Amino acid sequence: MSEKDELFDKKVECPVCKHEFTTKKIRSSRLRIEKRDEDFLNHYTTENPIKYNIFVCPNCGYSSWESKFEQIKGDQIGIVIDNISSRWNPRDFGGIRSNMEAIETYKLALVIGMQLECTKLELGNTCLNIGWLYRLDKKREEEKRFLILARDKFIEAYNTESLSGTNMDESKLSYLIGELSRRIGERETALSWFNTCLNLTSTRLNPALDSMAREQWRKTKDEE
Ligand SMILES: [Zn+2]
């Protein structure tokens, strides 16, 4: 199957500068999952759709998750214009993206997300996707650096933010913090978060997650 068949152009209007541009998306009907890592990175037989999750306006530099791209509000638009657009060298990420280009889009979204005071959960997710893209590119050191950043943001989210209205709950998040801690070699922290996960009532109601947490707890123990 050629890349031409998988990808299509989506037309987007930038909510900051009103410029119209196109950005690639992958047809979901073409997606075939090959395997899933224990920290939820899906590998595909096709291009990985995470490469196209971030929309970047080529005109003003505004970059954000597709799901949030249009949600930017008035005062935030001012922040982007002052801090991003004024320094933006026009660049177009609307074509087929290499992993490195995809990483650049997430890094742009991360900088803007921090300025717009996005939730720690969202910033953590952005860092996690950067880590995943480095994994797909077999750049282990950079992957680890971003898994640490993601893990730390997720701990802050777990301790200080409401997860309602997100695709995350306490069980899944505590499991993920455990698994990221395991991957960066912090065994004690990993075991403690897997225990947190296993002690939650909500985990007992989610048998698949419960067994993943047990399995990864055991794996962490065996790594002694
Ligand atoms: Zn724009």
The domain locations on the chain are 3-150, 169-224
pLDDT at position 22 is: 98
Q: Tell me, in angstroms, the distance from the centre of ligand 1 to residue 57's CA.
A: 5
Q: Compute the C-alpha angle 123/83/95, nearest 5°.
A: 65
* 80 CA → ligand 1 middle, Å: 9
Question: What does pTM read for this prediction?
Answer: 0.95
Q: How far does residue 144's CA lie from ligand 1's centre (Å)?
A: 32
Q: Are strands 42-44 and 54-56 parallel, antiparallel or unpaired?
A: unpaired
Gap between the Cα atoms of 218 and 222, Å rounded: 6
- Between the CA of residue 39 and those of 68, 105, 212, what are the distances in Å? 23, 21, 10
CA distances from 156 to 68, 146, 153, 168 (A): 21, 15, 5, 14
58 CA from centroid of ligand 1 (Å): 7
Q: Which residues of the chain have pLDDT under 50?
A: 1
Say what the pLDDT of residue 3 is: 54
End-to-end CA distance of the chain: 44
Q: For a pLDDT cut of 70, what percent of the chain falls above it?
A: 98
Give me the pLDDT at residue 68, please.
Answer: 95
